[in-house]
Structure 1
Amino acid sequence: MTAASYLLTEEQLLCCICLDVFRDPATLPCGHNFCKDCITEHLNFNSQRKCPMCKEQVDRKYKLGVNTFISEMAVQMCAEHGKPLDFYCKNEQMIICQSCVDADHRFHRVVPLKEEYEAKKTQLGITEAKILHMIQERQRKVHELKQSLKLSTEAADRETANGVRVFSALIKSLERAQAELIEMTEENQKRTEKQTKVYITELEQEAFDICPAIYEGITRTALVKAVDELTETIKNEVKMIRDAQFNNIRQNAVDVTLDPDTAHPALILSNDGKQVHCGDEWKELPDSSKRFEPAISVLGTRGFSCGRLYYDVQVKGKTGWTLGVAKGSVNRKGEIKLNPENGYWAIYLRDRNEYFALAADPVPLSVNDHPEKVRVFVDYEEGLVSFYDVNAAVLLHSYTGQTFTEKLYPFFSPGSSDSGTNTAPLIITPEALSK
């Protein structure tokens, strides 16, 4: 392998189907590369067996193999920026990426890695094998630093989670106090009703004892009506208290339905627009700029451009999913990188137990128990997008300090069926609106 191998761009190391760095990359006869599992599932679902990029047909006899060259390149990325190491800094004597050049090395002597390789080879007369060994040693150090950073991030996330857990416990305590107040109010109502009925009965008996003849000429309707009116008044007051409390709880919940015009052809949406999962074959649908393809994704029908909002999504039984919000103007075709710079604020699960926040560089999330229901919360004015484990009342991740300038739409990706292990649907749950 020569230094020219390092001239691949970051986009060339991403699978356009799963939007992640290649895992066991396979090359089609047309020259396009994909994760082996992704393209295998794509060809099995697509009866015409066409390449997702150029639509060239793939013969059923063609055997997919792992491209070892691309596989090796997929792990040779900058630990800080996740981009290929294409340049050499003569001042610091280190291999760097384009983002490093633009940031910390913009005033240094920086040359393309291939140029430095040729210069070293000519000036020092050393072999290509030694040069590659030097590069591999630096890659090893980069990997060690990246692992150290990951451990540090996980520790920070755990500390944050503990703090949020304490705050969540306080919220639960307040909710219990609220429930006790409602229960006490209802008991007071029942006690008042009972005492009022006893008092009225005593008045009726006194009226009868004073003058039975007159009392017989008076119907009990007026007294009964008075009791009923008093009871109804008490009930209405209790209802007003409860409604005010419940409205305060549910005031930020929004009704979300899925937009079929944006759904990838392999996705199956329920009739009420509340559920979505990946099917076994692609539907024949008209081409549209609104539709995601080849990314297996769908947006909500309604966009939001102000205030606070949240919605809950059931993820129980799934091995992979992506949830969040996206700008209405996001790119939906070809290769898509999900991060705030491209208009996506999301978290995702892969391989059953690996949770990530999709920032410029994916951030591993510390998750103790697998969430069965995830809450997506947005404060538009504050520039905040947060994700919670609803049942455990634990914060999973927050994007803070964001700036929103257009409508945000709920974003969903149930992931591929993963050979039948990921067929459970994402379900937009109505609990928040029915409290």
Structure 2
Amino acid sequence: MAGLGSGPSVPVWLAEDDLGCIICHGLLDWPATLPCGHSFCRDCLQGLWGARGAGRPWTCPTCREDGARPPRLRKNTLLQDLADKYRRAVRELDAGPEPAPSSVPAPQRRPAQPPVVVQKNITEVGRELTELVEQLEDIVRSLQSQGPHSESGRDDKQSILCMTFSSGMDLASASPKLVTSNTSEGKIRDVLHHLETIREKLQENFTLKEAPEEQTQVKLLKAPSSSSCPLPDQSPTAPKRTSQFAQWAINPTFDLGSLACSLEVSEDCRRVTVSHYPQPYQWSRDRFSTSQVLCSQALSSGQQYWEVDTRYCSHWAVGVASWGMSRDFILGRTIDSSCVEWKGTGHLSAWHMVKETVLGSDRPEVVGIWLDLEEGKLAFYSVADQEKLLYECIVSASSPLHPAFWLYGLHPGNSLIIRQVKA
């Protein structure tokens, strides 16, 4: 009989959170599976239980199942193998195709770096490229402002400029007019124009990555503090507009009793962030096991509108849920919750009555939520200069609904902000 290894290979698509530990927010390392079926890193579990002190019963961080004595932790070899294969696949994608294997054993590789470190490297490269383009702009402006000179002198300066381009980066591939020996004023203006265009594109591409990264660096340099987060209505990039829903606008605040241990909120309870370390919140049956939180406001009648800034979160879902929503499920996967969700891979969808509706690939930076309980309607809008309808559904007012939020829990620094709606 053929063994398992002789069959065809079947590709299995895994996301990072499928093999993640909700305690350390990283890939499973020496995974241990508890009697309830949930798995975590062994060291994370031992550290969490040890911090509670002697005499305290062990508890599963996900479902809260406990017992008089902690179970014996044994390695889940299947999960360990999957996590190792995932790490290798990520390294191969980052490094490109590897050479064919030889008889010489390959040197042992270092463990893959967590995604936050990769994000830092990308952001730093973006800053360096932007600074280089700015320096080149200064060189071109200097040549332009020096006025008429001998043709040979200008040729020398132009040669220096060409050497700067070729040694710094291959900008010629982005614009074939950049590296040229023509010294006419028109060509210099063309060079300056293309440099400005490249700089603007660099700034656009790295703006969204730079903002959450700066928050991460602040948290690494000093103790985590929710009070250091700026208020949502103080954001310098907030668009100035008048909302058609302004008269129904509310300012909901996060409920600390439902807050998952992987999250923390600002002092005004309007910004929620994925923490670098599990928070020592008092246990409550109302607390979510995943990176979710409800707002305190129970909406049971009338019309309400609020807005959520999503620019600083890579994966998210925003919507409404009843207070009785299961704390082990994700928003939208229950009959008493509805949401729009950005998967971080160019995929925007709506979830209603446990059914997904794909909406497109455009990411809304600000989401407006309109809840009309008089007509039983829930609508989501992409907010820019004006509100653009994304999705609308029918909801029941049989039980109060609360604003609800989910954040990608494996990326510390991810945050969602409840914005002040301007009248």
Q: Choose between structure 1 and 2: higher helix proportion.
A: 1
TM bin, normalised by shorter chain, reads 0.3 to 0.5
| TM-score calculated relative to the size of structure 1 | 0.45
TM-score norm. by structure 2 comes to 0.46
